[in-house]
Structure 1
Amino acid sequence: MEGASGVVTLLPLLLSLATTSWAQLLHDIPTKPAARIAVIGGGIGGTAAAYFLHDLFGDEVLIDLYEPDHIGGRLATLSVAGQEYEAGGSVIHPANQYMKNFAAQFGLSHTTPCSESVGLFNGEDYVFTSSNIALVDFAKLFLRYGWDVYRLQKVPAAVLQDFIKIYKLQHEGQAFKDVASLLLAMSKEMLRMTQMSTTDWLMEQGFSPLTISELVMSALQCNYGQTPEMHAFVGLIALAGADSNLWSVEGGNKRVAEELLKHSRASLLRRRVAQVAHSTSTPRKFMVWSHEPDEPVEAEAAAMGQKDAAQETKETWREQEYDAVILATPLTQDSTKIQLVNFTQQFSFSGHYEPIETTIVRGVVRPESLMLNDDEMLDNILVINPRLMFNSFGRQQPVKGRKCDQEAVGVWKIFSPHKIPEDLLDIFFQRREVTHAISWLAYPHYSTNQTLGDFELAPGLYHLNAIEWAGSAMEMSVIGAKNVALLAYKQWKNDPDAGKKPPIKEEL
């Protein structure tokens, strides 16, 4: 009994020692540190990338988001007479699942466009003006364009059936290293559409030259400041922007980007990135060099012959090492000064971005300056002649608490390829109380022979904005963000299947 009692007494001590030994052994096993990732750019694409990275990596990632200006990028609002108005991307398509889900998740309310009158203007006359009676408007359009009016609403919907496949593919963890492969995964036709003009593609579908030169032209001029010579895929995105069920976010579409950043748990660095370099000391690492927003970039100083200033400037730069870098900003020569150095390959980014002037005026319009009578002023004037000084001229409603009023003193937005001189604005307006002019490099200049580009520039280095060469839109940027986040996650895990989720259940 004594011996047995001794064994029983020792058991708790032995169990305690064993537990302690295993705990110590597990504690001593080296664990992989959290991934450190830089996202350069705080627009809808960059903030969505940060959000998706956090969703994939969980607590195993540290994210720095570099943005020297406002969060939202080309999503921005402007204050006019105490109210905020959209100055950038204004509307969202009802089929945009990511934007719709974000708004729901973050508790952001929808607003819908006011019912407004519209005219198609060729510079001398209006080929169409709407009334307040839908049946009359359809009859007028039918007499001019025939069944093309009906079919023009159906064609984007047919392409959309292939487009929405991307949501299922990304849910299942599929990612693509280049834009062409992403489009091809949805349909061969989508890739073909990037290689032919909107005019040629619509002619194949049986649309008349008149429909293309007027109805299609008006949509492309308003949404992209370009003609139907742009490639057909982005042309169809522009036509989808004429959907009657478009919506926007109460308080401004930039609210989505702001909420994405907050929920990503990324650190916001108000710094401008000058260089991204492949680390020479640590394999598969990257160095990001940044500076305060108001400091000159070395390349600028050197270009002006200020060698001493250039050297002094670089000494004030800050460097940080990362496991991966996501470039969520355009990389064409006209749109960025970020240098990619110490890489084995030479990077070249062709093409350029289309400059757009946004002029926002609070005042009283002079109808005769727009070939209208005093009693027939339109809410929206869409241009079908690309040689005119403006692309569109439209009444605006505030992003919060819109009332769809028609007061004489209104807020108007003019899109134009060049800045409109003050003396010409005085021709358009009897009185101007407030005038703001904003210059954007708004979207790529689209053609049929451009290179779509790569998402993966090197293992661990990703270019989100490559997707813009297929089509520039909020939802396209978010799709690009999910794609590069998946690429980064697969690279970090060294597992091509990483990021896969159970298939979406189909409704019966």
Structure 2
Amino acid sequence: MNPQITALLLCTILLSQSHAHSHTVCIIGGGIGGASVAHFLRHYSPPDAISQITLFERHGVVGGRLATVTISGETFEAGGSIIHPKNYYAWNYTLLLGLRPEVPSHSDDSLSLGIWNGHEFVYKTLNSNSKLPIVQRLVSIANSIIMALRYGVVSLFRMNSFIEATINKFLRYYDGLESRPVFESVEAMLKWAGLFNLTTITLGEKLEEVGLSSILVQELVTVITRINYGQSVNISGLAGGVSLAGSGGGLWAVEGGNWQMASGLINRSDVELHLNEEIESVYYLGDAYELNSTKGKSYNCQVTVVATPLDEVNILFNPAISIPPRKLQHTHATFVRGLLNPAYFGLELVSDIPELIGTIESGDLPFTCISVLKQHEKDMTYKIFSRQAMADVLLDKIFSVRVETVRINWAAYPHYHAPETYAPFILDGKHLYYVNAFENAASTMETSAVAAENIARLILSRIVEKSESTSPNLKIFSSDSSVSGLRSEL
């Protein structure tokens, strides 16, 4: 045989062998979860382990529940709007992508607060228009005293201790790879961090156990859970702890919109992106998955990742999958350029209205909160959260002036309860994965990233040969694994 032909055949054989273990991955959903899976697959995988990543987003833009809204020519966060200072993946994404963090001009912890029961403000902080640091400091001290007098120093201390304890346990998910295993189930992931017990009782039950006063739970804690999750203290203890953590200081956002994190991760992860393409069926063919889209196209992938909640989409799986039934909590976000009506709140002046109005749990109240996004020369831009759509006739009662109104209906997060049940991370026992299974524990930008990081490592632990150098860091921790010696639960 011609030596040149022999060499060519040998080269072809070697190349085919070198790519024999390359895999194609399809990701359904272009939110922070799907973008994070793509990022961590590229970050952790050995050379040539992942040959192609294809991502499908049914909308025309990526970001999912990270989105912005434009009202009167100005842009504001419409979905996930704030990031905790200890959300380290979000912080690292921001640095990696060259984005600029900013403190929102009207972050919740800087706004004057009023708690409205439908008839009166049962709690209201002081406010000052002065920009002098000494005046702002004095107002802050006065508000701390007012809060302590109403809710009790001991109860406030116990609440903060509960929040810190929850955060510290969550921080275990940032441990180094040599000490942090890969988890095959949400339950195993929560037990390892010492957080599982918090999902078996309600927040109200946990805070009673901790020793908080009933008035603190009924007012301040309830206001926070209604703002962050649209629900009462009957949510699970872990979701409640995450919600309370999101009310603290140091909160930040990405300048120009948090959606840029998802967009940036997708752009730098060598992803084939399909916008405006919805997946309607997923068939397992024995050695790969066939994904069929609403555009009449089919795609074959050896690994498929679902990174969108399955609760309100109509994807046909064959063979069928089984996940626990779950309802999503819809939050109606209404943005209004105008002025609130002080008479609606029993006040005389617009300046008397708190910048953040939270509400107690009551079926008679039409909104969960109203906050000022920006003060203009003659009016303001407000954001309203409610469980039901805000009709024009209602808005005309709440507002004396309404120049422009924008409405968004978010299927925002699960409707939490206790004890929680979880969908599996691996939907079919093979290579069909579900990032949003973790949302039943808590739903934030950061929890999506944490779950996605685990899914990426789980995929690689199951497709990369044991001889690969990365395998020692990809040990699996299943729901049947021993949990002895782990940190004690809350």
Aligned ranges for residues 328-477 of structure 1 at < 5 Å?
328-332=307-311, 335-342=312-319, 346-374=321-349, 375-387=351-363, 388-397=365-374, 405=375, 407-457=377-427, 458-477=429-448
Q: CA separation in 2, counterparts of 1:170 and 1:191? A: 21
Amino acid at match of 1:181: A
1:319 and 2:298 aligned: yes
- CA positional deviation for 1:22: 8.1
Q: Which residue of 2 aligns with 1:7?
A: none
Q: Which residue of 2 aligns with 1:165?
A: 172
CA contact under 8 A between 1:383 and 1:390: conserved in structure 2? Answer: yes
* Higher Rg of the two aligned structures: 1
Alpha-carbon displacement from aligned partner over 1:192-213 (angstroms, at most 9, x marks no partner): 1100010111111111111111
Structure 2: runs of 5 or more not aligned: 128-138, 475-490
Amino acid at match of 1:178: S
Q: CA separation in 1, counterparts of 2:188 and 2:9? A: 48
Q: Which residue of 2 aligns with 1:301?
A: none
- CA positional deviation for 1:152: 2.1
Q: TM-score, normalised by structure 1?
A: 0.83
CA contact under 8 A between 2:120 and 2:345: conserved in structure 1? Answer: no
Q: CA separation in 2, counterparts of 1:206 and 1:265? A: 51
Q: Which residue of 2 aligns with 1:478?
A: 449
CA contact under 8 A between 1:326 and 1:462: conserved in structure 2? Answer: yes
CA contact under 8 A between 1:98 and 1:475: conserved in structure 2? Answer: yes
Q: Which residue of 2 aligns with 1:135?
A: 141
Q: Which residue of 2 aligns with 1:306?
A: none
CA contact under 8 A between 1:459 and 1:491: conserved in structure 2? Answer: no
Q: Which residue of 1 aligns with 2:289?
A: 286
CA contact under 8 A between 2:339 and 2:401: conserved in structure 1? Answer: yes
Amino acid at match of 2:186: V
Amino acid at match of 1:246: L
* Bigger Cα displacement from structure 2, 171-180 vs 60-69: 171-180
- CA positional deviation for 1:159: 1.7
* Bigger Cα displacement from structure 2, 116-125 vs 52-61: 52-61
Amino acid at match of 2:152: G
Aligned ranges for residues 49-64 of structure 1 at < 5 Å?
49-57=37-45, 58-59=47-48, 60-64=50-54
Change (3 A) 1:450 1:182: same
Amino acid at match of 2:324: F
CA contact under 8 A between 2:54 and 2:272: conserved in structure 1? Answer: yes
Q: Which residue of 2 aligns with 1:39?
A: 27
CA contact under 8 A between 2:36 and 2:262: conserved in structure 1? Answer: yes
CA contact under 8 A between 1:118 and 1:382: conserved in structure 2? Answer: yes
Q: TM-score, normalised by structure 2?
A: 0.86
Q: CA separation in 2, counterparts of 1:174 and 1:26? A: 38
1:198 and 2:203 aligned: yes
Q: Which residue of 2 aligns with 1:12?
A: none
Q: Which residue of 2 aligns with 1:121?
A: 116
- CA positional deviation for 1:479: 0.7
Alpha-carbon displacement from aligned partner over 1:451-477 (angstroms, at most 9, x marks no partner): 122111122110000010000000000
Q: CA separation in 2, counterparts of 1:284 and 1:450? A: 34
Q: Which of 158, 166, 173 is the matching residue for 1:151?
A: 158
Q: CA separation in 1, counterparts of 2:362 and 2:270? A: 45
- CA positional deviation for 1:499: 5.4
Change (3 A) 1:268 1:465: same
Q: CA separation in 2, counterparts of 1:258 and 1:371? A: 45
Q: CA separation in 1, counterparts of 2:9 and 2:467? A: 33
Structure 1: runs of 5 or more not aligned: 1-16, 293-316, 398-404, 503-508
Q: CA separation in 2, counterparts of 1:169 and 1:265? A: 26
- CA positional deviation for 1:56: 2.3
Q: CA separation in 1, counterparts of 2:100 and 2:173? A: 25
- CA positional deviation for 1:385: 2.7
CA contact under 8 A between 1:174 and 1:500: conserved in structure 2? Answer: no
- CA positional deviation for 1:390: 0.3
CA contact under 8 A between 2:281 and 2:316: conserved in structure 1? Answer: yes
CA contact under 8 A between 1:119 and 1:378: conserved in structure 2? Answer: yes
Q: CA separation in 2, counterparts of 1:408 and 1:224? A: 32
Identity %: 30
- CA positional deviation for 1:396: 1.0
1:109 and 2:116 aligned: no
